[in-house]
Amino acid sequence: MDYNPDSKTRQKGLLGAAFLAVLLLVLSEYVVTPEKDRHEYGKAAAVLMHRALDAVKKEKQRIGIAIESREDPNGTGIIGEEYSDLTSTLGSLSAKRTSTNPLFAAVIVDMIKDCGLTEGDRVAITFSGSFPALNIAALSAVHTLKLNPIITSSIGASSYGANHPELTWLDMERVLRENSIFPYRSRAASLGGIIDTQGGLDGTGMETGLKAIQRNHVPFLDEKGKETLIADIQKRLELFEDRDAEKNIALYINVGGSLAALGNCPESYSLRTGLLKDIAFRDHPQKGIIFIMSEQGIPVIHLLNIKKIARRYGLPIDPVPLPELTSTVMPGTRKPSRFFAAISFVVLCVLLFYLNRKSRP
């Protein structure tokens, strides 16, 4: 077989082009363009979340609930008890502590910005008591971006959530309203997962939950779990509707794992977390609100696997102390540079064109 120096040169050129392509791909992860708009909104939302957490902490101290340094080393005041009669399921303490980072408000701002919402857009929200810090993060982002939330909540909370009988999620919501941090009140509230445990070991949890709903003057959503799930989902969808509103629902945010939000179908247990713009799903009679909203073309922000979201956005897991907000670059504000991508594409095209010309006889 004859030796062909041109073929050898061409092979070297192609290897060089492949190496350059890989190098440019790696560099694109580091050559980023800061987005001033997202940074400013994210920073404002994080600062607002910090204020809101401080208001909850002061209320906790005022009513005499101890802040345990072992469970809450950062002294946030938003970490609940391991167990109370309002506890619905087991929960991860490290996940709850991770969620207290005010930068989560900036993360949610970034997700909302990716949906293209504008001031005044309507946002349907379901909260539970499991992640009160994330509830506050979502409200901080919504308030900063001047959106219009329609909220339904549930009292039940997993371990270390808002499970103190005197400081449920609805109590926190009221405290934040009374301190002029947020103007929002849940449109209705249910007992949530505590109905499955019949209100804890001594059976007082359901009564305690009802008292919390009543003292906060929130309409009661009488739900009975899987037994009435289809009707309960429809009730919540009706609460989100407003025939007099000029705008339709533009976004759905779910925090936690409420039955109405997830539904009772196989796909409920394999849902991704974070911003979901398109959910692959087959029809099921007990599909949750997340799937119904997605079928209508409404983007969904599903906040449940908190550590996964934290890693995705470069936030620390279970940080002690919490990061300072003064000099921190907000999550989601440093996007890949389009200019660098364009230049890289042109360079590769020129190189391949040159190699092609050179290889011709």
- Reported as a single tens digit per residue, the pLDDT across 197-227 is 666 556 678 899 999 999 999 999 998 888 8
- pLDDT in the model for residue 112: 97
Lowest mean pLDDT among 237-251, 269-283, 284-298, 330-344: 330-344
Average pLDDT score over residue span 25-53: 78
pLDDT of 3 strictly over 50: no
- Going by C-alpha positions, the residue among 96, 81, 80, 105 that lies closest to residue 181 is 105
Q: Angle at Cα 331 formed by Cα 327 and Cα 336, nearest 5°?
A: 110
Does the residue 158 lie in any domain? Answer: yes
Tell me which of 89 and 121 has the higher pLDDT. 121
Lowest mean pLDDT segment, chosen from 136-145, 256-265, 312-321, 337-346: 337-346
pLDDT at 238: 94
Distance CA 289, CA 257 (A): 12
Q: Look at the chain and report how many structural domains it folds into.
A: 1
Contact 173, 206 (CB under 8 A): no
- Calculate mean pLDDT across residues 66-86: 94
Inside any domain, residue 284: yes
- Prediction pTM value: 0.83
- Yes or no: say if 218 and 153 are a contact pair by the CB < 8 Å rule: yes
Is 234 inside a domain boundary? yes
Q: What does the pLDDT read at residue 281?
A: 77
What tens digit of pLDDT does each residue of 176-192 get?
999 999 999 999 999 98
Q: Is residue 91, in this structure, part of any structural domain at all?
A: yes
Whether a cis peptide bond, with omega within 30° of 0, leads into 321 is yes
Residue 32's pLDDT is what?
45
pLDDT averaged over every residue in the chain: 86
- Looking at residue 283, what is its pLDDT? 85
Structure tokens at 49: 């979340």
Residue 5 has pLDDT above 90, yes or no: no
Task: Look at 139-153, 266-280, 319-333 and tell me which has the smallest mean pLDDT.
Answer: 319-333
Helix or strand (DSSP H, E) at 54: helix 36-62
Let me know: does 215 contact 167? Beta carbons within 8 Å.
Answer: no
Q: What is the pLDDT of residue 35?
A: 67
HSE-CB of 293 using CA atoms within 13 angstroms: 32
Question: Residue 14 falls within a domain, yes or no?
Answer: no
Region 278-302: what's the mean pLDDT?
Answer: 91
Residue 193 resides in a domain = yes
* pLDDT tier at 294, thresholds 50, 70, 90: very high
pLDDT > 70? residue 321: yes
Is the residue at 28 inside a domain?
no
281 or 279, which is more confident: 279
Asked if the structure places residue 11 within a domain, the reply is: no
Structural domain including 296 reads: 33-312
